[in-house]
Chain A
Amino acid sequence: MEKEILNNPTSEKPADSDNKLQSLSGIQLVDFGGSTGLVCDVETGFCGPINQKEEDEK
């Protein structure tokens, strides 16, 4: 199971960050490689295969 760091440690934390939020930092995103996972993008609202979404963004 390959993993990559999800959070950018240098990214600014929100002003209302509390202990609960801090405890979530450092979570590792599981990378399934050629997975056909399905996700709804928060910014665009587009719902589709993760790989397709990445292709569309190129």
Chain B
Amino acid sequence: MKITIWSDFVCPFCFIGEAHLNGALETFEHANDVEIEYKSFQLMPDGEYVPGKEYAETFSDMKGMPLGQAEAMLKQVTESASRSGVEINYDIAKLANTFDAHRVFQYAKERGKGNEFFQRAYVAHFTEGEVLSDTDTIVRLAEEVGLDGAEVRQLIEKRENTEKVEQDISEARAVGVQGVPFFVIDNKYAVSGAQPVEAFSQVLNQVWEEEHVKK
């Protein structure tokens, strides 16, 4: 069984959704037969790191959302994360453009380190307050998952893998993705959003049954 996930490092419900999916996989009898493939998506392609500005303020300015509404949304997200055992610290998190990090993710993916890099980037952004648009930061995170820092730096500077990121985003549009995270199972069924663990369990079991038991 293959699960394809469109996600962005700065998407809180992608971070939470991954935790829920992992929770479902813990009790899924055939978890060892599940392959997970991440695909790039940019939730905030116009996102830009503004030093000294609070996350909510940057988000409010970027989206034209009243500051109070942005603060309430982030508070609700943080509470949802906490209930799922996911640590989100918007008091230190830095809103930033993720395109360079996605280009490095594509490089990581080609070397079998894509999922590891994705998970490392989630934690770096939401828990540790790292700036994901900063080249030195991306290189360091890549090295932490076992990638060649010099190659990663060169890739960023030469703006390589741009087309691969854009291809993933185009595929998302072709599928009709309107929100992330977005999960596609075996190119047949889609799950939109961070659904509860039980919902993921239900889908995993049902798809497995359809594909194996009923044949």
Contacts and interface: CB of A to CB of B under 8 A. Distances in A.
Contacts, number: 110
Contacts of B59: 45
Nearest to A45: B63
B184 interface: yes
A41 B191 CA distance: 14
A17 interface: yes
Interface-central residue, A1, A39, A46, A53, by most chain B CB under 10 Å: A39
Interface-central residue, A8, A23, A47, by most chain B CB under 10 Å: A47
Interface residues of B, number: 43
B214 interface: no
B195 A40 contact: no
B195 A37 contact: yes
A35 B12 contact: no
B202 A1 contact: yes
A34 to B, nearest CB: 11
Given A13-B174, A30-B203, A45-B63, A38 B193 contact: yes
Contacts of A44: 63
Interface string A9-51: 0010110110011011101111010011111111111111010
B184 A27 contact: yes
A58 interface: no
Contacts of B192: 29, 37, 39, 50
Given A32-B199, A47-B12, A40 B179 contact: yes
A55 to B, nearest CB: 14
Contact of A7 (B44, B65, B176): B176
Given A24-B174, A35-B195, A40-B43, 12 more contacts: A8-B176, A21-B171, A32-B195, A39-B181, A39-B192, A39-B193, A40-B179, A41-B178, A42-B43, A45-B59, A47-B73, A48-B77
